[in-house]
Amino acid sequence: MSAPAGRLVAVVEDEDTIREAMCYALKREGHQTEAFGDGADAWNAFARALPDLAVLDIGLPRLDGLELCRRLRARSDTLPIIFVTSREEEFDRVLGLEIGADDYLCKPFSMRELMARVKVLLRRSALLQDAARAPEDAATTVGDLSMDPLRLIVTWKGARVPLTVTEFLLLQALARRPGVVKTRDQLMEEAYPDRVTVSDRTIDSHVKRIRRKFAAADAAFDAIEGVYGAGYRYVVPAT
Ligand code: CA
């Protein structure tokens, strides 16, 4: 299946050359773009209409990328958000914050790398919105967990748990095979179907965020087990 083209991608970046390069590359892929050089202008526009995907720099005038991400996430659990960061330290800091971005790229990155991630995230949200579903996309219930891939709704003991698309796919990969250990590479393949490579730490960071979100709904949540040296598995308690 090809990636949906012609989607509206917002680029919020105050460095003119990088912003222009990103918009140029996106347009070449057939997307529409809206570009903003500061966070406040971007938020004013997003308040009127959300884009299909947002690429956010972190250091921005007037309203930084982190706050912009928080505000966007408060309005939509599923909008794909990619952070671009300028320094490794900044990258570390962002991974430590759990603000619900779907992906992170550290500058300098290639436009090819950015396009690959945009493509995966847009395709994923299109698949998840598509009503004509293959059987494997039917709702899954495993013990207290229920996952609806069409509506991206996850509930735990009946309570809604808001997950990003990436978090949803990772959890789904684990919950579909309870008790089976999935390596970080396998999880990466399922959550990033276009063979885009992310670091093990990115997977760990996603898992950490998933656990934290479930813990907010149920402090006793411990269904995702880390297996030292191997990966993760979904555990359903014996009844
Ligand atoms: Ca900047």
Q: Where do the structural domains in the chain lie, given as residue ranges?
A: 8-128, 135-234
Q: How far, in Å, from the CA of 14 to the mean position of ligand 1?
A: 5
Q: Could you tell me the pTM of the whole model? A: 0.64
| Topology agreement, domain 8-128 and domain 135-234 | no
Q: How far, in Å, from the CA of 59 to the mean position of ligand 1?
A: 4
Check: CATH 3.30.70.3270 for 135-234? no
Q: How far, in Å, from the CA of 86 to the mean position of ligand 1?
A: 7
Q: What is the pLDDT of residues 13-65, one digit of tens each?
A: 999 999 999 999 999 999 999 999 999 999 999 999 999 999 999 989 999 99
Contacts 24+ apart (CB under 8 A), 93-100: 94/58, 94/66, 95/201, 95/202, 95/205, 97/66, 98/208, 98/209, 98/212, 99/66, 99/69, 99/70, 99/73, 100/69, 100/70, 100/73, 100/164, 100/209
Q: How far, in Å, from the CA of 12 to the mean position of ligand 1?
A: 9
d(CA 189, CA 174): 12
Q: How far, in Å, from the CA of 65 to the mean position of ligand 1?
A: 9
**CATH fold group of domain 8-128:** Rossmann fold (3.40.50)
% of the chain surpassing 70 pLDDT: 84
Q: What is the pLDDT of residues 93-151, one digit of tens each?
A: 666 566 777 777 878 888 988 998 898 888 877 776 664 455 556 678 899 999 987 66
Q: Cite the DSSP H helix spans in 63-183.
A: 65-75, 88-96, 111-129, 165-175
Neighbours of ion ligand 1 (CB under 5 A): 14, 57, 59
Q: How far, in Å, from the CA of 210 to the mean position of ligand 1?
A: 28
Q: How far, in Å, from the CA of 58 to the mean position of ligand 1?
A: 6
